[in-house]
């Protein structure tokens, strides 16, 4: 990989947009195909195709670009480097640029004028015993809409195709021209179960654009507590849901309640269970006095005790393990090829965790350890969650017991003009990437938000191949990807 | 089997006694904003700061549309006269869209019962909620599903 062909940024980082190398198309393609990184963002701006990668070997972010060809066509990257699959489909949908030779150039959000979500060609199988099962967009439960098209022979799934876009709200357009007083609430709503992680990633984008700002240690500690509480709540919910889907009701019921207790702990700081308003550009939106911190510590320790009782039952039950093990397996090779991120990748043995690979905020001082399991099945994805729960609890206890003293932060006030800024954050699902290009007034001329689910939906599709269709619920829940985070 | 029973004893009975008793909410809970009459003719700080345009400041004072409010507290923090305050009141539902609009002159919030007598007589002891998941952030869906968990146990209400 030729480092001169990339602008190298820290996480978060910003630099003049003019510093992004503009390579010839052949060079651009060659560098991206050979790169030792994970695709983080890919978009058109100011006549250039911009590619952002997160390094797989160190803590850097790489940015490069190529001029958009006159005829707005280029040879697709996906056949040689499958991790660009979804990114090239998005590019085509957003700009009309054609990645020639893309194996599956279909809409991902159905945002074109005449597009109807879900109405498109699907991969189909022919044969007298072959049948097609369509699930969604309206699902059997209060969950987000999305469409799943299975090609089956009897119970066996040969192919799953996932078609999304039902939750498209126009987030990137809403954020263009900002920041204004709407920006933070919109960012918090990109994926409502990851509000604090998104808010943090966005705040660091602003911090990268103003080199004079400094967030106090106290605020960074509160932010990190918010992020880990968010992770804990979601993992508890997921393990309970997995238990429910294999009809193991004790753990399903207990986790349902315990997750609520953790959410209420977040609400102790900021008044709402999803941490809205807790992570702000000024640092933290609420203070955490010693008495409150002590009360939170006490409550959290109790929830961990209750949780371990519930989880021991689950992981000791042979009938549960029989359902989880060797189900929905994604190989490490497939995960690497597809550029899966976060928990789904860690459950295939890949040690990617932005808190440790590209540390930021309090994680620069200390972070929960990266938890991996090698098998790539539902059991591994459940085990990663269990391991991360233990790590996150300990991390929060250490912080609550040793909060740094109160001190003032200097919030970001101004923004570098004509700059590109990139911020990576580890949401509970995996790597969030936010990139912005500012105009000559320092406002967002282009805003790109990439959810971990953007990388991982294809992983779920692969997990179902050769699997029984009755295992779809646990496969889906073991990934638990975001529809709205993907659809923007 | 014994481990399961042991765990059941440890976990205990957790279903809350709502509606017989009010739920215990955190002290910083951001609930229904209370609007007092505002005589600051030249100030519209609340309306200007509101990210969703939920607040209108007009001749008759401040009008707050709960259909748009996201309980972010920016109005409360912006008002130097303390005329808008988020209370701990979690009851914010209405059977009509108009019922979501609050002003200083709005009646004190009262829990609404089904206004249609026919529906009330036929279905008065059965709770039905339809949630439409289209273009949100999924947080409502998550907390809605919490209603089925044992602390809330929505199934009790038919």
Give ipTM to 2 decimals: 0.91
A127, pLDDT greater than 80: yes
Long-range own/partner contacts, residues A89-92 (CB < 8 A, 24 or more apart): A90/A42, A90/A454, A91/A42, A91/A43, A91/A44, A91/A49
Query: Do B3 and A313 make contact, defined as CB atoms within 8 angstroms?
Result: yes
Query: Do B3 and A312 make contact, defined as CB atoms within 8 angstroms?
Result: yes
pLDDT digits (tens, 9 = 90+) for A347-389: 999 999 999 999 999 999 999 999 999 999 999 999 999 999 9
A185 inside 8 A of chain B by CB: yes
Residues of A in contact with B25 (CB under 8 A): 267
Q: State the average pLDDT over residues A132-154.
A: 93
Q: Which of A280, A227, A174 is nearest to A432 (CA)?
A: A227
Query: Do B10 and A268 make contact, defined as CB atoms within 8 angstroms?
Result: no
> In the prediction, which pLDDT does B155 show?
85
Annotate A296-310 with DSSP letters as a single string. Answer: HHHHHHHHHHHHHHH
For residues B86 and B79, give the distance between their C-alpha atoms in angstroms, rounded to a whole number: 12
pLDDT range class, residue A231, cuts 50, 70, 90: very high
**How far is A313 from chain B, CA to nearest CA, in Å?**
7
Q: What is the share, in percent, of chain B residues with pLDDT greater than 70? A: 99
pLDDT digits (tens, 9 = 90+) for A331-348: 999 999 999 999 999 999
Burial class (CB in 10 A: 0-12, 13-18, 19+), B7: middle
Query: Do B149 and A260 make contact, defined as CB atoms within 8 angstroms?
Result: yes
A295 inside 8 A of chain B by CB: no
For residues A272 and A230, give the distance between their C-alpha atoms in angstroms, rounded to a whole number: 12
Q: Which of A462, A457, A235, A470 is nearest to A329 (CA)?
A: A462
Chain centroid to CA A195: how far? Answer: 12
> Which residues 10-39 in chain A show a CB within 8 A of chain B?
none
pTM of the model: 0.95
Q: How many CB atoms lie within 10 A of CB B142?
A: 21
Q: Which of B90, B84, B75 is nearest to B106 (CA)?
A: B84
Nearest chain B residue to A302, by CA: B11
Nearest chain A residue to B26, by CA: A268
Residues of A in contact with B150 (CB under 8 A): 253, 256-257
> In the prediction, which pLDDT does A430 show?
97
Q: What is the share, in percent, of chain A residues with pLDDT greater than 90? A: 97
A286 inside 8 A of chain B by CB: yes
Residues 6+ apart with CB under 8 A from A175: A183, A186, A187, A444, A447, A449
A328, pLDDT greater than 80: yes
Q: Which residues pair with A157 in a beta bridge?
A: A152
B145 inside 8 A of chain A by CB: yes
Q: What is the share, in percent, of chain A residues with pLDDT greater than 70? A: 100
Query: Do A272 and B11 make contact, defined as CB atoms within 8 angstroms?
Result: no
Among A106-110, B62-66, B74-78, B118-122, the minimum mean pLDDT is found in: B118-122
> In the prediction, which pLDDT does A101 show?
97
List alpha helices for A317-443, DSSP H.
318-324, 332-338, 342-346, 354-357, 378-401
Query: Do A271 and B26 make contact, defined as CB atoms within 8 angstroms?
Result: yes
Query: For B53, phi and psi rounded to 5 degrees?
Result: 70, 30
B40, pLDDT greater than 90: no
A256 inside 8 A of chain B by CB: yes
A307, pLDDT greater than 90: yes
Query: Do B49 and A181 make contact, defined as CB atoms within 8 angstroms?
Result: yes
What does the mean pLDDT of chain B come to? Answer: 87
**Sheet containing A419-426: order of strands:** A13-16, A419-426, A431-438, A444-450
**Cβ contact B23:A260 at 8 Å:** no
Among A24-33, A93-102, A191-200, B55-64, the minimum mean pLDDT is found in: B55-64
> In the prediction, which pLDDT does A126 show?
92
Question: Could you tell me how many residues make up chain B?
Answer: 158
Residue from the list B52, B138, B148 with its beta carbon closest to the beta carbon of A192: B138
Interface residue of B138, B152, B155 to substitute, partner A, most A CBs within 10 Å: B138
pLDDT range class, residue B12, cuts 50, 70, 90: confident
> In the prediction, which pLDDT does B131 show?
86
Residue from the list B7, B27, B150 with its beta carbon closest to the beta carbon of A257: B150
Query: Do B141 and A144 make contact, defined as CB atoms within 8 angstroms?
Result: yes
**Cβ contact A439:A177 at 8 Å:** no
pLDDT digits (tens, 9 = 90+) for A260-293: 999 999 999 999 999 999 999 999 999 999 999 9
A408, pLDDT greater than 90: yes
B9 inside 8 A of chain A by CB: no
Query: For A286, phi and psi rounded to 5 degrees?
Result: -140, 155
pLDDT range class, residue B91, cuts 50, 70, 90: confident
> In the prediction, which pLDDT does B92 show?
84
A160 inside 8 A of chain B by CB: no
Nearest chain B residue to A171, by CA: B135
Query: Do A193 and B30 make contact, defined as CB atoms within 8 angstroms?
Result: no
> In the prediction, which pLDDT does A210 show?
96
Among A109-118, A390-399, A440-449, the minimum mean pLDDT is found in: A109-118
> In the prediction, which pLDDT does A287 show?
94
Alpha carbon separation from A226 to A86, A280, A283, A363 (Å, rounded): 30, 12, 12, 13
**How far is B146 from chain A, CA to nearest CA, in Å?**
7
B60, pLDDT greater than 80: no
> In the prediction, which pLDDT does B154 show?
86
pLDDT range class, residue A248, cuts 50, 70, 90: very high
> In the prediction, which pLDDT does B73 show?
93
> In the prediction, which pLDDT does A245 show?
94
Residue from the list A144, A306, A310 with its beta carbon closest to the beta carbon of B138: A144
């Amino acid at each position: 990989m030729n480092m001169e062909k990339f602008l190298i940024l820290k996480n978060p980082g910003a630099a003049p947009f003019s510093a992004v190398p503009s390579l010839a198309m052949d060079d651009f393609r060659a560098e991206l195909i050979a790169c030792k990184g994970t695709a983080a963002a890919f978009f058109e701006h100011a006549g250039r195709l911009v590619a952002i990668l997160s390094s797989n070997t160190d803590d850097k972010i790489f940015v490069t670009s190529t001029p958009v060809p006159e005829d707005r066509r280029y040879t697709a990257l996906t056949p040689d480097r499958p991790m660009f699959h979804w990114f090239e489909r998005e590019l085509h949908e957003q700009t009309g640029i054609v990645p020639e030779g893309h194996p599956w150039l279909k809409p991902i959000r159905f945002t074109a004028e005449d597009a109807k979500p879900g109405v498109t060609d699907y991969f189909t199988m022919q044969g007298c015993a072959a049948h097609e099962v369509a699930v969604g967009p309206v699902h059997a439960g209060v969950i987000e809409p999305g469409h799943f098209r299975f090609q089956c022979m009897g119970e066996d799934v040969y192919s799953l195709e996932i078609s999304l876009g039902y939750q498209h709200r126009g987030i990137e357009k809403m954020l263009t021209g900002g920041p204004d007083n709407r920006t933070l609430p919109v960012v918090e709503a990109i994926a409502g179960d990851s509000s604090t992680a998104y808010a943090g990633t966005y705040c660091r984008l602003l911090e990268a654009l103003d080199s004079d700002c400094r967030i106090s240690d106290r605020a960074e500690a509160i932010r990190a507590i918010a992020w880990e509480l968010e992770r804990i709540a979601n993992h508890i919910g997921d393990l309970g849901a997995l238990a429910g889907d294999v009809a193991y009701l004790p753990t399903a019921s207990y986790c349902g309640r315990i997750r609520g207790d953790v959410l209420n702990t977040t609400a102790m700081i900021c008044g709402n269970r999803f941490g809205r308003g807790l992570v702000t550009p000024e640092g933290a939106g609420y203070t955490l006095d010693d008495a409150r911190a002590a009360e939170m510590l006490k409550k959290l320790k109790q929830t961990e005790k209750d949780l371990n009782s519930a989880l021991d039952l689950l992981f000791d039950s042979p009938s549960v393990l029989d359902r989880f093990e060797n189900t929905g397996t994604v190989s490490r090779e497939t995960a690497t090829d597809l550029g899966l991120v976060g928990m789904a990748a860690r459950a295939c043995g890949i040690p990617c965790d932005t808190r440790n690979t590209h540390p930021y905020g309090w994680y620069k001082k200390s972070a929960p350890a990266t938890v991996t399991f090698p098998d790539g099945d539902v059991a591994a994805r459940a085990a990663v969650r269990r391991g991360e729960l233990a790590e996150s609890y300990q991390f929060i206890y250490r912080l609550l017991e040793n909060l740094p003293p109160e001190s003032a932060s200097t919030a970001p006030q101004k923004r570098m003009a004509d700059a590109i800024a990139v911020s990576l954050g580890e949401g509970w699902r995996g790597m969030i990437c936010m990139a912005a290009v500012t105009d000559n007034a320092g406002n967002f001329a282009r805003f790109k938000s990439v959810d971990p689910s953007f990388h991982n939906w294809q992983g779920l599709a692969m997990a179902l191949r050769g699997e029984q269709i009755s295992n779809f619920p646990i496969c889906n829940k073991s990934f638990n990807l975001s529809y709205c985070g993907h659809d923007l | 089997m014994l481990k399961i029973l042991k765990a059941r004893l440890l976990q205990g009975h957790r279903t809350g006694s709502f509606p017989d008793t009010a739920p215990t909410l955190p002290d910083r809970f951001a609930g229904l904003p209370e609007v007092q009459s505002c005589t600051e003719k030249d100030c519209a700080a609340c309306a200007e700061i509101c990210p969703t345009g939920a607040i209108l400041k007009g001749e008759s004072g401040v009008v707050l549309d709960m259909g748009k409010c996201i309980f972010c507290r920016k109005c409360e923090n912006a008002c130097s006269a303390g005329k808008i305050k988020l209370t701990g009141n979690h009851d914010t539902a209405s059977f009509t869209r108009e019922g979501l609009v609050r002003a200083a002159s709005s009646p004190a919030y009262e829990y609404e019962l089904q206004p249609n007598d026919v529906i009330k007589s036929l279905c008065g002891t059965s709770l039905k909620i339809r949630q439409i998941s289209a273009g949100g952030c999924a947080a409502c869906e998550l907390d809605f599903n919490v209603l089925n968990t044992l602390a809330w146990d929505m199934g009790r209400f038919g």
